């Protein structure tokens, strides 16, 4: 017996416990290391290449103006590997280093997130509504070595960067250039 709540079936506690017990009885061997980017996304890409899975978009983004970005699994894999190389080689980041991304939800946000998964770099998202004081706190508390932001938020970062001694690199996602910043689009 299930109770209905706003049209959705709601499981009783006994049903949930039974479900979890059934999962626990299945003794699946867990991998020692798991990487979503290589173990899932790259596998799906290979399945599509081999014709064992129909081609579907891995990423589909549309903004308010109707601008659209659509990447296949193969394209997402390729672009995220390029972004991973930028983070590790150009920015000098290593597994375990922290990156703060203060961006609106643009395609680069997801691309950098997958790139961080690939490299083991810790991705720390931040809303584009952060103030300079908020950014300073997050940079200092996280000990981030890199910040990625838009050209509109770069001045807020610049106003506090002198107090962030661990920060090694600054990436900008936008069309403009700024002194002391790397431009992600140009690096691609």
For residue 86, the Cα-to-chain-centroid distance in whole angstroms is: 14
CATH number at residue 177: 3.40.50.980
Q: In which element (H, E) is residue 187 found?
A: helix 184-187
Is 15 a domain residue?
no
Is 12 a domain residue?
no
Cβ distance 108 to 183 under 8 Å? no
pLDDT exceeds cutoff 90 at 27: no
Which is nearest to 188 in space by CA: 110, 114, 85?
A: 85
DSSP string, 88-129: IIIS---TT-EEEEE--S-HHHHHHHHHHHHHTPEEEEE-TT
Is 7 a domain residue?
no
**pLDDT tens, 51-63?**
888 888 999 999 9
Query: How many distinct structural domains can be found in the chain?
Result: 1
Is 24 a domain residue?
no
What region, left, alpha or beta, does residue 10 occupy, with left being phi > 0 and alpha being psi -120 to 50 degrees? beta
**Which residues form the domain of 75?**
36-187
Is 128 a domain residue?
yes
Cβ distance 188 to 174 under 8 Å? no
Is 117 a domain residue?
yes
pLDDT exceeds cutoff 90 at 89: yes
Residues listed for the chain: 188
**pLDDT tens, 145-181?**
999 999 999 999 999 999 999 999 999 998 878 899 9
Is 29 a domain residue?
no
Is 17 a domain residue?
no
């Amino acid at each position: 017996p299930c109770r209905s709540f706003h049209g959705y079936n709601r499981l009783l506690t006994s049903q949930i416990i039974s479900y979890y017990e059934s999962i626990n009885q299945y003794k699946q061997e867990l991998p020692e290391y798991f990487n979503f980017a290589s173990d899932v996304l790259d596998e799906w890409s290979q399945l599509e290449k081999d014709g064992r899975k129909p081609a579907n978009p891995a990423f589909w983004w549309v903004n308010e103006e109707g601008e659209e970005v659509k990447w296949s699994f193969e394209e997402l894999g390729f672009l995220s590997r390029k972004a991973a190389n930028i983070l590790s080689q150009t920015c000098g980041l290593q597994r375990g280093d922290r990156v703060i991304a203060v961006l609106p939800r643009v395609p680069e946000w997801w691309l950098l997130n997958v790139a961080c998964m690939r490299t083991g770099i810790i991705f720390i998202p931040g809303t584009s509504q952060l103030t300079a004081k908020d950014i300073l706190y997050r940079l200092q508390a996280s000990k981030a070595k890199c910040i990625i932001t838009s050209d509109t938020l770069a001045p807020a970062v610049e106003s506090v960067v002198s107090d962030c001694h661990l920060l090694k690199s600054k990436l900008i996602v936008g069309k403009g250039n700024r002194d002391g910043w790397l431009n992600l689009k140009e690096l691609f």
